[in-house]
Amino acid sequence: MEQLYEEACKNGDIRGALAESFRFQKAFGRSSPDKLLTLDSTFRIASCSKLITSIAVMQCVEQGLVKLDEDVSPILHELKGIQILEGFNSVSGDPVLRRSDANITLRSGLGYDLFVPLLQQWRAYHHENVGIPASDFTRAYFLPLLFEPGQGWEYGPGIEWAGILIERLTGTNLQQYIQENIGEPLGLRNMTFHLEERPDIRQNLCHTSYRHAGGELDWTTEEILPDPIKESLGGVGIYSTALDYFAVLEAVLVGDERLLSGPATIDLLKPQLSSMSRQALNKIVQDLDRATGFGIPPGIEVDHSLAGIINVNSLDTGRRGGSVSWGGYPNLKWWVDRNAGLCGLYASQLHPPGDAKSVELYFRFQAEMYKRLHSTRGVEMGLGEQSYHS
């Protein structure tokens, strides 16, 4: 594996890589044109943020502050009476909307405009920009439902709204809540939503790269989120070192009760979809581009938990059926396999998402970790492997 990564850097397939597994640590390449990648490098973890906010939600459930299936619109009042967008009138061009008959719960029917053409059409109709706003998220990112909750599946901002729910339930901001209830118990010191408040984290921020259609890489100043940003966006907004994020993965792997009780961890990771939603998700992952973006090989049956996507079948890499995974926009991917006692992280800062070379390296890394796991009979539940790429 080490030779594979050395060659990938030499050939310009990736800018650099840092791998840690079985207490092996070695950095390859650079995090910027003039800086080496190190264990202290900061990553935009994007949608990897969702796992951390989902843990925070489950903590609120355990505290009795909210139930998974209760109507949250009295707290998230912006969503009260939200309508379902069915399409646009072919003659007038006006949106076709209908009333939702379901309660708005933590299992919403929202979608990201960035990935849903119907919502992009909605934005254009209202002369609005596509993408995450710098402020006023509840107003500027208010979008209609795409289906009745529980009757479909789409990649969307439900976790951002869940983060706002946490703030209103606890009377604090999400940054403070996560630091006090996840960061401090695990000893995390390099994780934030707000770089403007943490110059020590900002100074180690990796540059991003962009792969052109011909395969060549360029450094880029393109950012996923506005910086600075007003809100702490629980679905997309965290900056972190890979080491801090991996500590969260290990805690989930072993069921660390400093975060959640054993039953709550099981609830976090178990399948949650209705049959209609599961069918919709499996149809989406038949699209090769979206499947690879989710870190799922084609042809694998999937479900979804509160933490991430579930591969129902085992993978050729050795990852067991029932394991949970997710990722982040600039080609980050993580997995937790409690059946095998293994978790891993592949962290990159490469655009666009679903990069074929990054996906290949992620699966090669994953396969090597299972190979080493099986050849090391002394491995105990809780040993994790990491690889971080930039």
Q: Are 37 and 348 in contact (CB under 8 A)?
A: no
Q: Are 320 and 307 in contact (CB under 8 A)?
A: no
Per-residue CA distances from 376 to 362, 369, 370 (Å) = 21, 11, 10
Strand-strand pairing, 95-99 and 191-192: unpaired
The Cβ of residue 250 has, within 10 Å, a number of other Cβ atoms equal to 17
Which of 47, 54, 209, 390 is an active site residue? 47
Q: Which residues, in sequence order, are CB contacts of 23 under 8 Å at separation 6+? A: none
CA triple 23-24-27, angle to 5 deg = 130
47 is catalytic: yes
Q: Which residues, in sequence order, are CB contacts of 30 under 8 Å at separation 6+? A: 15, 16, 36, 37, 390
Paired tokens of 20: 């840690």
Paired tokens of 279: 């069918």
Which residue type does 85 have?
L
Q: Which residues, in sequence order, are CB contacts of 374 under 8 Å at separation 6+? A: 318
- Just list the catalytic residues: 47
